[in-house]
Structures are given as structure tokens and as C-alpha cells.
Amino acid sequence: MPVLLLIVGINFIGVGALIPVLPYAVIDTMGMPASVMTLLLASYAFAMFLANPVLGRLSDHYGRRRILFISLGISAVSHLWFAMSGDILTMFAARIISGLASGNVGVIQAMIADRSTEENRAQYMGFFGASIGVGFVAGPALGGLLGGLGGGPSHQIPFLLAAGVSLLALLLTLRLKAPPGSRIIPERGNQPLMQRITTLLRSPLALYAIASLLLNLSFAQVEASFVLVLRDYLDFGIRQTGWLFTYIGVCVVLVQAVLIRPVVAAIGEVGTSKLGVALLLVGQCLTTLAVLGMLPGGAYPLTQTIIATTGICFGYALSTPAISSAVSKIAGKAAVGGSLG
């Protein structure tokens, strides 16, 4: 488990390093409108959305470490390709491939489910989220510092960093061992697509899938647009943006490493999910009002934005591991990879 969590943290250092850099590089350096930048982010997210259940299901049948190893290799190549790119079409192609490779999140969650019990699964899913948070602590800070080298925004060095850490994570997968009693499940006969959809919709997993989709869609808006809001309304540069996202990562680590276990023990996974979604909603509303200077004491929008953003962090950090833990219990070992995907 420690090696697996280390892989997660290292991999997300690379992901986090790109957040403060990408909008400035695309808009300021290449002269593209903000709409192109948001489409670039959306293409990555959509590719990841499509790949997550596919890679999860493949890991159920062909082994988790094998799928994780391949996806990390593809991720490293895609980051390197983006770093070397000089036109927007190449950037789109590289980010789409990177998104497909990043669909390994469900695979990693399934590996955690394989190595935990029902009693401590929510806690370990919290550790998984905390490892991501560690990546988002170090990543944006590094990306902000490296992206500002040379006197202007540049995406090349942060993307080279992302490629390097993906390669390091790939090498660490060689140290992973399958948990006792695990096995590769033979591929079953093909089930008609409509029958599979009907079965899913009738399953308790359907509600969790819809909730997870809406939750991640809501949080994705923060990643896609918040950097632009900080840039246009608060006059943030790459380094300031990097430090704010580092603060977000610290909040996520604290919640998922310390708070998730007692909260789940007190109100259960469903209650924790509801609490997290409520905090996320309140945090997003307050952040919007703070940036626009519409809260009382609006002369200090930066301070208010930081405080309001804390609600977003706490909400997302509480809800995601609780939902993942509940899904893994419902799905069972034979389909946990595909279900978490």
C-alpha cells in the first residue's frame, strides 16, 4: 500500500504542475482566446471520462499492474509530446492521449480496494485522496516556479517535469505485488450493450455513478475556469496561481488524511457524501461572490476568495472517498475496477 500511494502522489505532482501554467501558455504565449484553452482542458477531461471505465474493466480481466504500467508509459510520452509541441492541434492531440492514459484513476482505486477490508476501505480511499492532495501541494508550486523561468509563461519545463514524474511512477509499479488471493478474471462472453445499460440503470451503482459524474463535473469547472478568474479579476500570475492551488492541495490532504475516518465513522459513507456535496455547493457560491467583491467587506476579495475556496476543498475531499468506498462494497471484487472507473 505505501508504494501504491507513493505512485499516486508522484504522478499527481506532474498533473498539478500543469494547472497554473497551461492557461497562461495557451492564451498569453500562443495568443489563443480563452475559449480554446477551456476546450483544451475539456478534451483532456472528456478523454479521461471515456477511458476510466474501460481501463478499470480491462484491469479486472488482465491485471491491474499491467494496465497501470502501460497507462503511465503513455502518460509520460504524451507529456513529452506536449512539451515539444508548437501548434494548437498538436497540443490537443497530446492532451487527449494524456486524458486517455489518466483514466487509470479507477484502476488505482481498485488496487486500493483489493488491499483493504470493508471496515477500513473509506480510510484508505481517504489516503488515496490525500496522496493526490500531496501531488497538488507540490505540483502547482513547482509548476508556478518552473513556468515563470525566463521572464514569461512557458509550458515546456513543467510538462517535462510531468513526463519525468510519470516515468518515475512507472518504474515504481515494478515494485508492486498482487495481494494474496488475487487473480486475473477470465473474459466473459459479450453481453448486448442495451442489456448492460439496463442492468447498470437498475443497479444501486447508477445513483452513485450519477452523483460522481455531477460532483466531478462541478469540481472540474473550478480547474477549467478558476485560473482564468484569478488572472482576469485578481491579476494573478503563474506563481500566485501555483501557490493558491498549493493551498487547495494542503486542505485536501488534511481532510482526507485526518478527518475522513472519524466523519465516516460518525455519519456513514452516504452521510459523508451528502455533507461533502453541501460544503462544495456553499464554497462555490461564496467563491463566486468573493471574486466579484459582493461579500460584506468586499475590499479584500483575495482574502475572501481564499477562505471561500476552503469550502470547495473540504466538500470535494469528503465526498469523493466516501462515494468510492461505497461503490467498491456494492460492486464486489470481480467488477470493482470497472465500477470504480
Q: Mean pLDDT across the chain, nearest whole number?
A: 76
Structural domain contains residue 318: yes
Structural domain contains residue 261: yes
Q: What is the DSSP code string of 58-101?
A: HHHHH-HHHHHHHHHHHHHHHHHHHHH--SHHHHHHHHHHHHHH
Residues 44-85 pLDDT 10s? 878 888 888 888 888 878 888 888 899 999 989 998 998 888
Which residue has 466538500 as its cell numbers?
315
Distance CA(158)–CA(139), nearest Å, equals 9
Residues 281-330 pLDDT 10s? 888 888 888 777 777 766 567 778 788 888 888 888 888 778 777 766 66
Q: In terms of pTM, does the model score above 0.85?
A: no
pLDDT at 201: 61
pLDDT at 49: 80
Distance CA(106)–CA(108), nearest Å, equals 5
User: For the ranges 7-11, 54-58, 187-191, which has the lowest average pLDDT?
Assistant: 187-191
Structural domain contains residue 287: yes
The whole domain housing 44 covers: 2-175+200-340
pLDDT at 186: 46
Is residue 219 predicted with pLDDT exceeding 90? no
User: For the ranges 34-38, 44-48, 86-90, which has the lowest average pLDDT?
Assistant: 34-38
CATH number for the domain including 320?
1.20.1250.20
pLDDT classification of 334: cutoffs 50, 70, 90: very low
Contact (Cβ atoms closer than 8 angstroms) between residue 152 and residue 253: no
**All three cell numbers of 272:** 459523508
**All three cell numbers of 261:** 475516518
Structural domain contains residue 312: yes
Structural domain contains residue 84: yes
Structural domain contains residue 184: no
The total number of structural domains that make up the chain = 1
Structural domain contains residue 192: no
Is residue 111 predicted with pLDDT exceeding 50? yes
Q: 292: Cβ–Cβ under 8 A, 6 or more apart, which residues?
A: 233, 301
Residues 245-285 pLDDT 10s? 778 878 888 887 788 888 888 888 888 888 988 888 888 88
Structural domain contains residue 170: yes
